[in-house]
Amino acid sequence: MSHPAVSLLADLIRRPSVTPIEDGVLDVVEAFLTPLGFECTRLPFEGDGSYPVDNLFAIRRGNGPHLLFAGHTDVVPPGDVAAWTHDPFSAEIVDGVMWGRGATDMKSGVAAFCGAVANLAANGGLDRGTISLAITNDEEADAVNGTKKIMEWADDRGEKFDFAIVGEPSSFETFGDSIKIGRRGSVSGKLTVVGKQGHAAYPQRANNPMPVIAALTQALYEPLDNGTEHFQPTNLEVTAIDTGNAASNVIPERASLRFNIRFNDTWTGETLLAEIHRRIAAVDARGCAIEFEQIGPVSRCFISQPEGHVAHLSDVMEQANGKRPIMSTIGGTSDARFIAQYCPVVECGLIGATMHQVDERVPVADVERLSDFYATYVASFFDRGTRD
């Protein structure tokens, strides 16, 4: 008999839910959870400069601590479908491997947790605590009308969570070798330097913005810090420099520079932006105008301290694998940053080797293993109570 997590994963992959298109994928999750006693609420959010998004909050109340599982059902586009070995939305299983977009990132995490609660429900194991699931279809793109607003909605109605797991791929080489207890923050910006256009043979009649762009680049690349106890050093990367100038004999009027910073807990968004403005002000503008534009919102840095519930999760993983997981903070941003404001949160999931790639796929045995681990952990979490 097929493991419930595997059957559910196949149903999820067959829904081409490329952000923000939901395509019925949340209906599949809701139909799975409702017979298990979960109260399911659909939460459509829109506005704030982004597209409308459908979300799902499901809760099953019991006597005991409250565990939140968070994940996303949206996926990145498959790219060139002809380049795939198997159709990206077929969920075809070949030699024990399931193929499809979202197989690792992260429909497998959602399916594994749902499969875990199904197995626990069959044994009466869900009555000793409360379980909630916050499932969004807006993680891979703007992340404006998804998890952030689900958490605000839940907080407004008085929901209190003791601990949260985000089912993102967190393992490196083998299942459970790493969990993520934090993420660096992210901020992006654009600098535009406006000078005066002119003929390259008559520079005295123009004011070239390019030397200023070069000086700004050098100033931005000065080290920001040396890292902290749990985080690697903050890094700034210039991602584009452009003049829009197609002629080789014309001094451009303007030049622009775009950059992204991944910052650790040395900084907040406010203090980091203040440092960027200080560096910009220290550059000789050479008579040009320098304009700064922040691109998008700041993604906050967060850390869940490696004690309490975090240490307990590591204990359970060590018992399952015979090896304690590394507590990591590397990688990009995730929706865990929105949850960290309400309770400790970790990312705990599969190996992410093929995520976002052509031929994304996952061994069926890994999905079953993750689901069984979630079930073991939930039971242990309920046994432990609300201690943190």
d(CA 17, CA 24): 8
d(CA 373, CA 366): 10
Residue 168 assigned as binding residue? yes
Known catalytic membership, residue 359: no
Q: Among 22, 74, 138, 360, which one carries the catalytic annotation? A: 74
- Asked if 237 is an active-site residue, the reply is no
Structure letter (DSSP) for residue 3? -
Cβ atoms of 281 and 288 closer than 8 Å: no
Residues 6+ apart with CB under 8 A from 108: 9, 102, 167, 349, 350, 362, 366, 367, 370
275 neighbors 219 (Cβ within 8 angstroms) = no
Give bridge partners of residue 254 from the DSSP assignment: 194
Q: Return d(Cα 42, Cα 372) in angstroms, integer.
A: 27
What are the CA-CA distances from residue 128 to residues 64, 147, 256, 312, 377 (Å)?
5, 26, 58, 18, 13
138, 139, 253, 360: which is the annotated catalytic residue?
Answer: 139
Whether 140 has a binding-site annotation, put simply, is yes
Q: Is 229 annotated as a binding residue?
A: no
Binding residues: 72, 105, 140, 168, 356
Binding residues for Zn(2+): 72, 105, 140, 168, 356
What positions carry a catalytic annotation? 74, 139
